[in-house]
Amino acid sequence: MSSSDRNFEGWAGVDDRATKGGMVLKQFQPKPWDDNDIEVKVLYCGICGSDVHSLSGSWGPLDPSKPNICGHEIVGQVVQVGTKVDTSVKVGDYVGIGAQSDSCRQCEWCLNGEEEVCASITWTMNSPFQHGNAKAAGFISCGGFANYWRGPAQFAVKVPDGLDLGSVAPMLCGGITVYSPLEQYGAGTRAKRVGVIGIGGLGHYAVLFAKAMGAEVTAISRGTDKMEDAKKLGADKYIAMSEGIKGHENSVDLIICTINPDTLDVLPYMPLLRPHGTLCLVGIVRNPLSVPCFSLISGNRRVAGSNVGSPAAIGRMLQLVVDKKIESWVQRWSFNDINKALPAFEEGKPRFRFVMVNTENGGKL
Ligand SMILES: [Zn+2]
Ligand SMILES: [Zn+2]
C-alpha cells in the first residue's frame, strides 16, 4: 500500500509562549511516505523533559522554521504498513515509538542492535531524516503530540499484550533511558547494589527497574521529601545528601544519575561507589563536569554516560515490565488540555510522569 491520505493534525509550538499555554493545534505534512514506513494512530504520548526544553526555549530559542510538533513517548495502533517493512508489525498492532526514529541502519552499531550509538541518529522530533525521499525533501521529524505518526517501522516496538498502554508510553524515553544503563552495567548481577540520584520521572523508573532486576536499591535525593515515595517504589535505602553520606560510603556498584542541573558536582557522590563502581549520567548537565582525577583512580572508578536505548533494548524492557508487572506512576491528561499540562510540567508537578491521552483515537483517561 502506498501513502495514505490521512489528515495529520498536531499541537505545535509557534512562539515562546508554547509551554505557557500557547500550543496551537494545526495541520501538518507528515514525512514523505516510504515503503519501510508505518502509520500509527496515536492513543497516548508522554511528556518528557526534552519536549519542554525544546518548546520553552531553554535549549535555545524556538525555531519557527521547524515543525515543533514534539512528543517522543508514543503509543498507538498501526493503521498502515509499507510494502518493504520487514518486521512482523501489522495493521491493528499496538506499538511504541521512543526518542529515536531512525539511524544509518548499516554501521556496526546499527547491525548489532545498538542504534542509539549510531553517528547519524534521527530523533523523533525536530530532527532531519537521513534516508531516501525524506532526506531529499529536507524533512524534519514530527512527534506524537498529534493524531497520527508516520515513520520507519524499524523504530516502532510492538507492545506486548496485556500491558496498560498509557503506563507504557512514558517508558519509551523516560524508562529506556535508565533501563539501558542498568542493563549495560549488569544491575542485579555484576552490579548487585544500585544507587539512583534524583527521584523524579527518570529516577522512579530507575528504582522500579533496578529492583525488578534483583538489585538492592539506594535512592539518593537532596532532602528527605522523596523518602516515602522511594520506599513505595521499592528502594531499600535512602540517602538525603543534605544530611551527609555517613554510613553509606563504599556501598553501591552503580549509580544512575538522573538529575540535570546546569552544573553538577559529582565529587560528593564518588565515595558512595565501591571499587570498580560506575557513576552513569543520563540527564544532560549543561556545563562541563569537573571530576577530580584521584576520585577516579582510587578504587578504579568510572564516570560514564548513556543515551536512550535501541528498539531491541526497549523490547527487553517491556518484557521485564510484563514479567515483573511494573506500572508507571502517571497522571493522565486529555490532549485537549495540553495547554494546562505543559505549564504544570514546568512547575514540577508530575508524580512522576504526565501522559497525554487521545480520547478521540480511543485512548482511555
Ligand atoms: Zn548506524
Ligand atoms: Zn525524552
CA 186 to chain centre: 20
Query: Which of helix, strand or coil describes residue 319?
Result: helix
Q: Which ligand is nearest to the CA of 124?
A: 2
Residue 80 reports pLDDT greater than 90:
yes
| Domain assignments of the chain as residue spans, ordered by start | 9-172+329-361, 175-305
Q: Separation of 127 CA from ligand 2 center, angstroms? A: 14
Q: How far, in Å, is the centroid of ligand 2 from the Cα of 69?
A: 14
User: Tell me, what's the pLDDT at 57?
Assistant: 87
pLDDT value, residue 2:
57
Q: Which ligand is nearest to the CA of 48?
A: 2
Taking only the tens place, the pLDDT of each residue in 144-188 is: 999 999 999 999 999 999 999 999 999 999 999 999 999 999 999
Q: What pLDDT does 196 receive? A: 98
For residue 64, what pLDDT is reported? 87
User: Which pLDDT belongs to residue 137?
Assistant: 86
Could you read off the pLDDT of 108-147 as tens digits, one per residue? 999 999 999 999 999 999 999 988 888 888 999 999 999 9
For the CA of 154, the nearest ligand:
1
Burial of 189 (0-12, 13-18, 19+ CB in 10 A): exposed
Domain 9-172+329-361 in this protein, CATH class: alpha beta
Alpha-carbon dihedral angle through residues 166, 4, 121, 207, given to the nearest 10 degrees: 10
- Ligand nearest to C-alpha 201: 2
Closest ligand by atom to 283 CA: 2
Is the distance from CB of 78 to CB of 93 less than 8 angstroms? Answer: yes
Tens of pLDDT along 242-294?
999 999 999 999 999 999 999 999 999 999 999 999 999 999 999 999 999 99
Cα 61 to ligand 1 centre (Å)? 29
Tell me, in angstroms, the distance from the centre of ligand 2 to residue 189's CA: 27
Distance CA 278, CA 121 (A): 26
- Ligand nearest to the Cα of 122, by number: 1
| CA–centroid distance, residue 119 to ligand 1 (Å) | 6
CB proximity list for 109: less than 8 A, separation 6 or greater: 115, 117, 118
For 285-299, write each residue's pLDDT tens digit: 999 999 999 999 999
CB-based contacts of 151, cutoff 8 Å, min separation 6: 31, 37, 38, 97, 101, 102, 124, 141
Q: What's the CA-to-centroid distance between 72 and ligand 1, angstroms? A: 20
Q: Tell me what pLDDT residue 141 has.
A: 97
The closest ligand to the CA of 118 turns out to be: 1
Q: Rounded distance, CA 61 to CA 16, Å? A: 8
Residues 205-240 pLDDT 10s: 999 999 999 999 999 999 999 999 999 999 999 999
Q: Could you say which ligand is closest to the alpha carbon of residue 105?
A: 1
Q: How far, in Å, from the CA of 176 to the mean position of ligand 2?
A: 9
Question: What is the whole-number distance in angstroms between the Cα of residue 171 and the centre of ligand 2?
Answer: 9
| C-alpha–C-alpha distance, residues 351 and 166, integer Å | 15
Q: What per-residue confidence (pLDDT) applies to 130?
A: 87
Ligand in nearest proximity to the CA of 307 = 2
Please tell me the distance between residue 168's alpha carbon and the centre of ligand 2 in angstroms.
14
pLDDT confidence of 362, banded at 50, 70, 90?
A: very high
| Ligand 1 midpoint to CA 103 (Å) | 5
| Gap between the Cα atoms of 286 and 340, Å rounded | 27
Q: How many angstroms is it from 111 CA to the middle of ligand 1?
A: 7
CA–centroid distance, 175 to ligand 2, in Å, is: 9
- pLDDT tens-digit readout, 30-41: 999 999 999 999
What's the DSSP call for residue 92? T
C-alpha closest to that of 332 among 316, 320, 350: 350
Which ligand is closest to the CA of 309, given by its number? 2
Q: Assign 58 a pLDDT band (cuts: 50, 70, 90).
A: confident
For 148-202, the DSSP string reads EEEEEGGGEEEPPTT--HHHHGGGGTHHHHHHHHHHHTTBTTTB-EEEEE--SHH
Helix axes 201-212, 174-184, angle to 10 degrees: 40
Q: Residue 30 C-alpha to ligand 1 middle, in angstroms?
A: 23
The CATH superfamily label for domain 175-305 reads NAD(P)-binding Rossmann-like Domain (3.40.50.720)
Question: Average pLDDT of the chain?
Answer: 96
User: Tens digit of pLDDT for each residue in 298-338?
Assistant: 999 999 999 999 999 999 999 999 999 999 999 999 999 99
For residue 233, the CA-to-ligand 2 centroid distance in Å is: 21
